[in-house]
């Protein structure tokens, strides 16, 4: 990790009832990095993102964002520090129009004053959303909904965005577009945590990556190291 860490997770345990979802998880994310988290279904990837974002409360551990421990904070306070999430399944507001979705995304205190400017920026990034600003979000295609989910997240001016399965259920051409956008946002200075079923692509995109198995980090390294790793190749790349 070259840059100063923007996010440090230490000794993190999460339980659902008596079942451990995360155990002893530790990871670092440097400012400006793309860090991938890979693992099988049920390994705890989404749980990790949800815990960092304050949607799940950890039983133990620290989550330091720019040095401040945010473990156990409610999600609205976490989001207001500059941690955004593009959630699995997109989680857009289907009954609201595109413009209303963006408006609500900018309701955070940190995005409120600059809402109009951010909206213009999102429309410039996704001209399709500008064309459909009055349309109900639920009537759009999966790809368009993913653009909206990303645009809505940008309305909160995040410094770190956690993407949870952004390519799930999208056509291959759209998947390429989504990864292109993630790269572009990263070039613009946004730090990225990427959870992605498409392991090959996410390891190529990521500077570093962690492998999560049964709620524990079992391996970490640069994207290239993991691409070359025998166990990773067998388990996740089918080689």
Partner 1 sequence: MDVETLANALVAGILTGMVYGLSALGLSVIFGVIRIVNFAHGELLVIGMFAALVLFRWLGLDPLLSVPLVAALLFVFGYLLQSLVIRRVAHLADHMQFLLLAAIAIAMVSGCLIVFGPDPQGVQLDYALDSFAVGLLVIDKTRLYAAIAAVLVAGLLLAFFKYATVGRAIRACADNYLGAQVVGLNVGRLYALTFGIGSACIGAAGCIILLLVDVHPYLAPGYTLLAFIVVIIGGMGSLFGALLGGVLIGVAEAMAAVVIQPSLKTAFSFALLIVVLLLRPQGLLGKAPH
Strand 68-69 versus strand 160-164 pairing type = unpaired
Q: Which is nearer to partner 1, 43 or 108 (CB)?
A: 108
Q: Is the dihedral of CA 74, 29, 167, 110 positive or negative?
A: positive
Q: Which is nearer to partner 1, 119 or 229 (CB)?
A: 119
Nearest to 12 by CA among 41, 50, 40, 48: 48
Q: How many residues bind partner 1 (CB under 8 A)?
A: 29
Nearest to 152 by CA among 82, 84, 225, 53: 84
Applying CB under 8 A, the span of 127-135, 147-155, 173-181, 195-203 interacting with partner 1 comes to: 147-155
Query: How far apart are alpha carbons 190 and 186 in whole angstroms?
Result: 5
Q: Which is nearer to partner 1, 134 or 172 (CB)?
A: 134
Q: Which is nearer to partner 1, 138 or 231 (CB)?
A: 138
Query: How far apart are alpha carbons 184 and 173 in whole angstroms?
Result: 17
Q: Which residues, 67 to 126, sit near partner 1 by CB under 8 A?
A: 74-76, 78-80, 85-87, 91-96, 100-101, 103-108
Binding of partner 1 by 153 (CB under 8 A): yes
* Closest distance of CB 235 from partner 1, Å: 29
φ and ψ of 21, to 5 deg = -100, -35
φ and ψ of 212, to 5 deg = -110, 125
φ and ψ of 144, to 5 deg = -65, -40
* Closest distance of CB 170 from partner 1, Å: 18
* Closest distance of CB 62 from partner 1, Å: 21
Chain residues in the site for partner 1 (CB under 8 A):
53, 55, 74-76, 78-80, 85-87, 91-96, 100-101, 103-108, 152-153, 155-156
């Amino acid at each position: 990790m070259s840059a100063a860490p923007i996010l440090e997770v230490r000794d993190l345990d999460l339980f659902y009832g008596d079942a451990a979802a995360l155990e002893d998880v530790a990871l670092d994310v440097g400012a400006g990095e793309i860090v991938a988290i890979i693992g099988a279904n049920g390994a705890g990837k989404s749980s990790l993102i949800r815990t960092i974002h304050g949607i799940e409360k950890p039983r133990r551990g620290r989550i330091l964002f720019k040095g401040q421990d945010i473990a156990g904070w409610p999600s609205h306070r976490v989001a207001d520090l500059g941690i955004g999430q593009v959630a699995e399944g997109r989680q857009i507001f289907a009954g609201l129009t595109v413009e209303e979705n963006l408006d609500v995304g900018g309701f955070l205190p940190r995005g409120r004053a600059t809402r109009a400017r951010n909206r213009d920026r999102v429309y410039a990034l996704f001209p399709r959303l500008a064309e459909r600003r009055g349309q109900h979000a639920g009537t759009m295609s999966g790809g368009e909904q993913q653009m909206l989910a990303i645009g809505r997240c940008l309305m909160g001016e995040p410094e770190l965005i956690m993407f949870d399965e952004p390519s799930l259920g999208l056509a291959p051409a759209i998947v390429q577009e989504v990864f292109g956008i993630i790269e572009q946002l990263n070039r613009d200075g946004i730090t990225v945590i990427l959870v992605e079923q498409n392991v090959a692509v996410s390891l190529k995109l990521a500077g570093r990556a962690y492998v999560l198995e049964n709620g524990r980090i079992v391996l970490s390294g640069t994207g290239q190291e993991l691409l070359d790793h025998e166990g990773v190749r067998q388990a996740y790349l089918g080689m």
